[in-house]
Chains A and B, each alone.
Chain A
Amino acid sequence: MTTRADAIVAQGLRKRYRDRYALDGFDLRVPQGTVCGLLGPNGAGKTTSVRILSTLLRLDEGRAEVAGFDVTRQPDQVRYRIGLVGQHPALDEALSGRQNLVLFGRLFHLGRRRARQRAVELLERFGLADAAEQPVSTYSGGMRRRLDLAAGMILAPAVLFLDEPTTGLDPRGRNEVWESVRELVRTGTTVLLTTQQLDEADQLADRISVVEAGRVIAEGTPDDLKTRLGGDRIEVVVAAPTDLAAAVAQIRRAADDEPTVDVDRRMVSVRVGHQAGALVDVLRALDAVNVPVADVALRRPTLDDVFLHLTGHRAATVEVAA
């Protein structure tokens, strides 16, 4: 791959609301044709950054360029090159799906005829052709999101902003939207995606920027971020509680690290870095002292772990689920 230009550049963005900085030194670079996931809890500054980059909000300090144009000085140039899909579908509920796309196509100044053609094309592509003439108020959540995505894609924008695009969708609707996003990425669109759902970032993003208190506190591929936690863990559940002490001793020696013990679940877990043979070593060591194993697992750290590790607290959605 040759080096690609950055489709999004943000340097030192600051935005203040009354006495609080929503963004406080926010830096971001997103290379063309990639998907960047902005991951963080509510109030971390994800939406504020998207609103600034999509020209909806003025920045107080810093510099931002999208698709090669400065968001403050050339907002209309930026607006012709971006698509924005917010947390809730921004559609006219009374109009049909087709009418919505024609409306937005005409507001992108395609003219009546081309706006109509483009609407038909997008309805087809997003699997909405059958519902084209129905009012949006009759659409399912997933259909609305797809129409919203289609509306964001009218000019085949260079950069697409997706602000928590699957909020409030059931798993099926979520998959529909994810599929559409992957499809767009294949056509070369750069995507900036914000999410509180760690698996969503993992599923869609090439690189993830973890946002906390208005700035990016960590950046890397999903795998990079997981690796920073020190690699994989082995979790061993012994059959009898009386074996726990022996198991800990063996596992400590085999894995060369201090295990943690969960007495209630009879589980010993230990960090093993990236040694492929660690699992076998541990099992052999336990077998050698006749400790029966009820269950064993090699676990890669999840992004939940990453978040906890980086911020010292769990992401909001995780807390709710726990």
Chain B
Amino acid sequence: MSAVTMPAPPVDLTPGRPALLADSGTLIWRGLARWRRDPGPLIASLGFNILIVLMFAYLFGGALQVPGGGSYREFLMPGMFVMTMVFGISLTTIAVAEDLERGVTDRLRSMPVSPLAPLAARAVADMLFALVTLGVLLLTGLAIGWRTHGGIGATLAAVGLILLLRFALIWVGIFLGLVARGQTAVVAVQTLEFPLGFLSNAFVAPSTMPAWLGAVAAWNPLSATVGATRELFGNPGWGGDSWAAQHYPLLAVLWPLVLVAVFLPLSVARYRRLAG
């Protein structure tokens, strides 16, 4: 022992216990602090979404046939709301993949942090951003002439369905982030967002597609949410003869629940399997 004794640490380092809620809260704080420090990606994402709406509203507007001859922009917006819920998924995937790659996930796993907290915090933080995104998109829609004709209840229900879909897709994004390693995977997710979005009833009637493609589009979870919200907002839509098209509201609830039921446990299992 040296003659000089170390001074006792002035901060009491007796730790508390791991707790899912407290740990998730801390990690949500981290997500928000990150965005405040580096808002670039979020602003880019919002800007991209607004740009897409304006492009469809002003550039492609004339080329699309509105069913029943209603307002084109009222027809357009429910599809746009849902599309933007899809476009945010790569942000989730990037955040999860980056923490893995940078070793932050390993650091958290080497600490007494509740094992579910990192994933739960990711989901909550990204839901908060989804709320902002949807808010901005609703305002953009109102600005270019979109209106809801449903009551307050129906309108809120529509918003709820859109957010429910996003919640489900976030878990898909988390899972992909855990599975995918490196940049290529992220690019793949970003690339897939477009076909996933377009292979739906958002812009084109499934009945006009080749039969098999139309069936895929009709059963696309996105179509369910688009169809259901068009009904709830009282905006023009395609209708359709398929069973799926007849039951969009039901499917708009069921599909996200199924996705969560599949991808949440898969993500948790995958996270636990990081221990080999």
Q: How far apart sit A104 and B70, CA to CA, in the bound complex (Å)?
A: 55
Asked whether, in the complex, the Cβ of B34 is within 8 Å of the Cβ of A84, the reply is no
Asked whether, in the complex, the Cβ of A56 is within 8 Å of the Cβ of B2, the reply is no
Asked whether, in the complex, the Cβ of A114 is within 8 Å of the Cβ of B12, the reply is yes
Q: Does B270 contact A (CB under 8 A)?
A: no
* Interchain CB contact (< 8 A) of B109 among A55, A110, A187: A55
Asked whether, in the complex, the Cβ of B26 is within 8 Å of the Cβ of A107, the reply is yes
Asked whether, in the complex, the Cβ of A90 is within 8 Å of the Cβ of B10, the reply is no
Q: How far apart sit A121 and B19, CA to CA, in the bound complex (Å)?
A: 26
* Interchain CB contact (< 8 A) of A104 among B2, B13, B107, B275: B107
Asked whether, in the complex, the Cβ of A86 is within 8 Å of the Cβ of B103, the reply is yes
Beta-carbon contacts under 8 Å, A55-94 to B: 55-58, 76, 79-80, 82, 84, 86-94
Contacts of A274 in B (CB 8 A): none
Band of interface residues on A: 35 or more
Beta-carbon contacts under 8 Å, A87-126 to B: 87-96, 99, 103-104, 106-111, 114, 117-118, 121
Asked whether, in the complex, the Cβ of A103 is within 8 Å of the Cβ of B30, the reply is yes
Q: Does B276 contact A (CB under 8 A)?
A: yes
Q: How far apart sit A84 and B108, CA to CA, in the bound complex (Å)?
A: 10
Closest residue on chain A to residue B10 by CB atoms: A121
CB of A316, distance to nearest CB on chain B (Å): 22
Q: How far apart sit A86 and B104, CA to CA, in the bound complex (Å)?
A: 10
Contacts of A17 in B (CB 8 A): 276
Asked whether, in the complex, the Cβ of B9 is within 8 Å of the Cβ of A15, the reply is no
CB of B98, distance to nearest CB on chain A (Å): 9
Q: How many A-B residue pairs have CB under 8 A?
A: 106
Contacts of B33 in A (CB 8 A): 95, 99, 103
Q: Does A293 contact B (CB under 8 A)?
A: no
Q: How far apart sit A320 and B6, CA to CA, in the bound complex (Å)?
A: 42
Given A76-B18, A90-B106, A156-B9; A109-B112 close (CB under 8 Å): yes
Contacts of A88 in B (CB 8 A): 102-103
What is the interface of chain A mostly: helix, strand, loop, or mixed? loop
Given A56-B110, A90-B104; A114-B30 close (CB under 8 Å): no
Given A56-B275, A103-B30, A106-B26; A76-B10 close (CB under 8 Å): no
* Interchain CB contact (< 8 A) of B110 among A55, A94, A110, A186: A55
Q: Does B16 contact A (CB under 8 A)?
A: yes
Asked whether, in the complex, the Cβ of B9 is within 8 Å of the Cβ of A121, the reply is yes
Asked whether, in the complex, the Cβ of A94 is within 8 Å of the Cβ of B38, the reply is yes
Q: Does A155 contact B (CB under 8 A)?
A: yes
Given A90-B102, A109-B15; A84-B37 close (CB under 8 Å): no
Closest residue on chain B to residue A89 by CB atoms: B103
Contacts of A55 in B (CB 8 A): 109-110, 275
Asked whether, in the complex, the Cβ of B30 is within 8 Å of the Cβ of A95, the reply is yes
Asked whether, in the complex, the Cβ of A109 is within 8 Å of the Cβ of B18, the reply is yes
Contacts of B11 in A (CB 8 A): 110, 114, 117-118, 121
Asked whether, in the complex, the Cβ of A187 is within 8 Å of the Cβ of B6, the reply is yes
Q: Does A54 contact B (CB under 8 A)?
A: yes
Asked whether, in the complex, the Cβ of B109 is within 8 Å of the Cβ of A56, the reply is yes
Q: Does A236 contact B (CB under 8 A)?
A: no
Closest 8 pairs between A and B when the two form their complex, measured CB to CB = A90-B103, A109-B16, A90-B107, A94-B38, A79-B112, A84-B110, A109-B15, A106-B26
Provide a sorted-by-A list of 26 A–B residue pairs whose CB atoms are within 8 angstroms. A15-B276, A55-B110, A56-B106, A57-B275, A79-B110, A79-B112, A80-B112, A84-B110, A89-B102, A89-B103, A90-B104, A90-B107, A92-B104, A93-B102, A94-B34, A95-B33, A108-B111, A109-B15, A109-B19, A114-B12, A117-B11, A121-B10, A121-B11, A151-B107, A155-B13, A155-B15
The chain A residues found within 8 Å of chain B, CB to CB, are 15, 17, 54-58, 76, 79-80, 82, 84, 86-96, 99, 103-104, 106-111, 114, 117-118, 121, 135, 151, 154-156, 186-188
